[in-house]
Amino acid sequence: MDKEAALQQVAAITQALEEVTKGLKQYATVIQESGGKSDLESIGQVSQSHTDLVSGVRTLNRASRGPVDMVFAQIEAVAYTGAVRALLEMGIFEKLPLDGTGLSADVLANELRVERDLLVRLMRVAVPELFAEPEPQIYSHTPYSMVYLHPGVRGAFKLMLGEYAPVFNKLSEFFKDSGWKSPQSETNNPYTFTHQTKGLTMWEHVKLDPDYFKIWNAAMNAQGIATSFAISIFPFKTELSKMETTEETVLVVDVGGGLGHATKQVKALCEDVKGRIILQDRPEVLEDITEELPEIEKMGHDFFTPNPVKGALIYYIRRCLHDWNDENCVLILKNIACSMTRSSRLLIAEIVLPATKADVEGAWMDLTMMTFTGKERTEQQWGDLLKDAGLRLEKTYGMPGTHYGVVEAYLT
């Protein structure tokens, strides 16, 4: 790098650092002013300021490393995640004391029955981002390593590395082979191409190994719970209270509601409103429910068939439609629309991407969905789907700091 280029880099770093400092002050101010409030507006303000701060840090990182070094940063990330997965399978996360005290490489290698040299080489990559090394080759937990002990987080990590990281690496090969366009076939897409599923869909393939399917489900449930804050984006009680209801009125049908975590939260949000709450999913899914769901009716239903509940006030579908291509989504929506009346409304709780400047989560989630023909959508794309299903988009509810939202629709 010549002097002029180096000075330009210093200027870029200085500007980025100033923005990070400003963003940090803003984040601290918002936290102080929110006072730990749990209302949606306060959560949104904190989330937005944190998102802005992280964006600034990413800009600072790019400026500090420069264009060439950022290419190698991608290789570093691959090596890091590979090392973490190996250490996870090795058992180091469980072996290290939870009180933060350290263990030597000798002790760990002996107790885990692994080669000491291999352990040290893997830990060399994971320190200090993940583990601490207070003394040479003495390792201890940090908050960043302990989070992997949570079954849902661990399941999500294994799922992304085991199922989707290889798929991302094969994207170019798939598109060269099948054409440069978004995949639409459930049996011919980047996922099935990479895993050589022999005619099985992604959904069928992950069920082949019952033990792995449990991990897969744990990851999906963890992600659903992690984004459960978005359920309250729609004012269920306020809207339902505007209508006269009885104990027999069907207030909400949670279509494809899984194990009922969201349904239970919706029920709480409908507090004091007379009426019924129905959880729908395939019978085999409902059989796996172990949690008590008081005052929630369970109903076996496949959303690729007409909804058996006629005239509910709200049909609610959350984190389902992004799994499917446009054709299947229209079919699912038509099977809900055919049971709606003029007083019914449909709520789609999903990511609603902006037309530009999508956040990191929205972008990588869309890419992940694409590998098996799914899609994260913009408001315009949601509107197009609804129109094709005989529905009209009425309003999109959202909050600052996240692309998660609720799309409200009625019959046309």
**The one catalytic residue among 50, 261, 301, 322:** 322
50 is catalytic: no
User: Running DSSP on this structure, what letter comes out for residue 188?
Assistant: B
Q: How far is CA 89 from each of CA 86, 92, 114, 122, 402, rounded to the nearest angstrom?
A: 5, 8, 11, 12, 33
User: Running DSSP on this structure, what letter comes out for residue 353?
Assistant: E
Rounded to an integer, what distance in angstroms lies between the CA atom of residue 256 and that of residue 315?
10
Rounded to an integer, what distance in angstroms lies between the CA atom of residue 186 and that of residue 313?
33
Order of strands, edge to edge, in the sheet holding 138-140?
A: 103-104, 138-140, 132-135
Radius of gyration of the chain (CA): 24
Q: Which alpha helices (H) appear in 338-378, and where do they start and end?
A: 360-370
User: Running DSSP on this structure, what letter comes out for residue 149?
Assistant: G
Rounded to an integer, what distance in angstroms lies between the CA atom of residue 306 and that of residue 291?
28
User: Running DSSP on this structure, what letter comes out for residue 410?
Assistant: E
Give the SS3 label for residue 253.
Answer: strand
- Both tokens of 250, joined, read 């069907």
In sequence order, what DSSP letters do the residues of 95-144 get, joined into one string? HS-TTS--EEHHHHHHHHT--HHHHHHHHHHHTTTTSEEEETTEEE--HH
Do the strands 250-255 and 314-318 form a parallel or antiparallel pair, or are they unpaired?
Answer: parallel
Q: Considering only CA atoms, which of 261, 262, 266, 303 is closest in space to residue 281?
A: 303
Which helix (H) or strand (E) segment holds residue 397: the answer is: strand 391-397
User: Strand (E) positions, 267-388?
Assistant: 276-281, 296-300, 314-318, 345-353, 377-378
Which helix (H) or strand (E) segment holds residue 26: the answer is: helix 3-34
User: Running DSSP on this structure, what letter comes out for residue 392?
Assistant: E
List the catalytic residues. 322
